[in-house]
Amino acid sequence: MAHNRKVSIAPQPARIQLPSLATPPATVLEFLCERFSRVPREIWAARIDSGKVCDSMNAPITPTTRYQPGMTVFYFREVEMEAEIPFQEIIVFENEHLLVADKPHFLPTTPAGDAVNECLLYRLQRRTGNAELAPLHRLDRETAGLVMFGKLTAERAVYTGLFAAGEIERTYRAVARVPVELKTNRGEWLVENRLEAGSPWFRMKIVAGEVNARTKIVLENMQEGLGLFELQPQTGKKHQLRIHMMSLGFPILNDEFYPELNLRAREEYLNPLQLLASEIRFRDPLSGEELEFLSERELTCR
C-alpha cells in the first residue's frame, strides 16, 4: 500500500527523564542511541551538534554531556520521510473543558517512533486550533478507541487526578483465541500482579512483588475458537490488558508484542490488534454531570 511521505518536524519538544540503570551509558548521546536504536547514531550526533537537544535549563547537550539519572532532556522529534496514516479520528464529544476522540488503529496518541505529526494529538491541535490541547491518558498505537483530551492547561490536573484516583470507569473489548477445551461461553477473572519494564524496554513483564496492575476480565461470548471479552482495568500500567489476557492463556488477536515479539512493517496496516477502548464513564468534577462516551468503532475478527 503506497502512502504520501514528507519531511516532518514536531511543533513541540519531546521530553525524557533519564532513568536509573544498572549499567548506565557514559553520555546522554550513548543513551539516546541505545533507547532509540532505529535512529542512526549520526542523526543523533547531528541533532546534538545543531543544538536541537537541550536540558531542562534549555542549555544544549554536547556529545560529551555525562549521563545523569533524573536529568530531563528535551528534543524535537523529526523524520526525513513521514508516511501519512490513512485512517481518520472521530470527535465524539467537545465542550469548553474536554474533547473526546475516537482513535483508529495504527495512529499513535502522541509522537512515537517514526510518527511525528501523524499522531492524534497534533492532528487534533491542527483541527481545533488549540495548542493547549493535551491527552489526559493514552492508548497504544495499536489500540483503537476513546481518548480524552483536556482543552485548558490550568484544568488538566483536575482530570488527570480522576484517572490516578480510579474514578474514571473504562471498558475495553478484545477478541482472542480461546483453547478448544474451554467449554463455557461465559467466564470471569480478576487478574492481579506486578508489571515492570522488560526487554526490549518497550515491553512489560510480570514480576514478583506488590500488586500494581489489576483487571477484571469477562468472556462474553465464544464462537469458532474466538472469544469476545470485556475488560475493565482498575489500574493503568503500560500494556496491562495485553499481558493480563496473555497470562490467562488468551493472547489478544494480532498482538505483535505478546506472547512473542513479532513486529510487522508499520505501513502494512493489516490485521489490527483486536483491542478497543469502547466506553468511558465518570462524574465531571467541574460540572458535576455524569458523562458517558461510547466508541463508534467495532472489532473485526480476522
Q: Over the stretch 21-67, which tens digit does the pLDDT of each residue have?
A: 989 999 999 999 998 887 889 989 998 998 889 999 989 999 999 99
How many distinct structural domains can be found in the chain? Answer: 3
pLDDT in tens, 71-95: 999 988 777 777 889 999 999 999 9
**Could you count the other beta carbons within 10 Å of the beta carbon of residue 156?**
16
Whole-angstrom distance, CA of residue 211 vs CA of residue 109: 27
pLDDT at 131 over 70: yes
Residue 5: band (very low, low, confident or very high) from pLDDT cuts 50, 70, 90: low
In this structure, what are the phi and psi dihedrals at residue 208, rounded to the nearest 5 degrees? -75, 150
Q: Is the pLDDT of residue 137 over 60?
A: yes
User: Which pLDDT belongs to residue 77?
Assistant: 79
What CATH number corresponds to the domain at position 20? 3.10.290.10
H helix or E strand, kind and range, residue 160 = helix 156-164
Domain match, 242 and 116 both: no
8 A C-beta contact, residue 171 and residue 231: yes
Whether the CB-CB separation of 170 and 229 falls below 8 Å is answered with no
> What are the grid coordinates assigned to 21, written together?
540503570
Are 112 and 182 in a shared domain? Answer: no
Q: What is the mean pLDDT of the chain?
A: 91
List, for residues 139-197, the tens digit of each pLDDT value.
999 999 999 999 999 999 999 999 989 999 999 999 999 887 776 667 899 999 999 99
Domain hosting 195: range is: 169-276
Cα→Cα distances 228→15, 242, 260, 275, Å:
38, 14, 22, 10
Task: Kindly state whether residues 159 and 178 are assigned to the same domain.
Answer: no
231, 258: one domain: yes
Single-letter amino acid, residue 128: T
- Contacts of residue 236, defined as CB under 8 A and 6 or more positions apart, other chains included, come to 137, 163
Residue 302 has pLDDT above 50, yes or no: yes
Assigned domain for 179 exists: yes
Tell whether 120 and 180 lie within a shared domain.
Answer: no
Confidence of residue 225 (pLDDT cuts 50, 70, 90): confident
Does 299 fall in a domain?
A: no
Does 16 lie in the same domain as 112?
no
Is residue 48 situated within a structural domain?
A: yes
Helices (H) then strands (E): counts for the chain: 5, 16
Taking the chain, what is the end-to-end CA distance rounded to the nearest angstrom? 19
CA 58, 64, 67, 68 torsion: positive or negative? negative
pLDDT band at 2 (very low <50, low <70, confident <90, very high): very low
pLDDT at residue 1, rounded to an integer: 45
Strand partners, 14: 75
Amino acid at 126: R
Position 81 scores a pLDDT of 76
Q: What is the structure's pLDDT at 231? A: 98
- Measured CA to CA, the distance from residue 181 to residue 250 in angstroms comes to 13
CA 120 to chain centre: 11
Based on the domain organization, do 182 and 217 belong to the same domain? yes
Question: What CATH number does the domain containing 234 carry?
Answer: 3.30.2350.10
Asked whether residue 3 carries a pLDDT value surpassing 60, the answer given is no
Q: Which whole-number Å values give the CA distances from 131 to 58, 134, 276, in the listed order?
A: 21, 8, 27
pLDDT at res. 200: 86
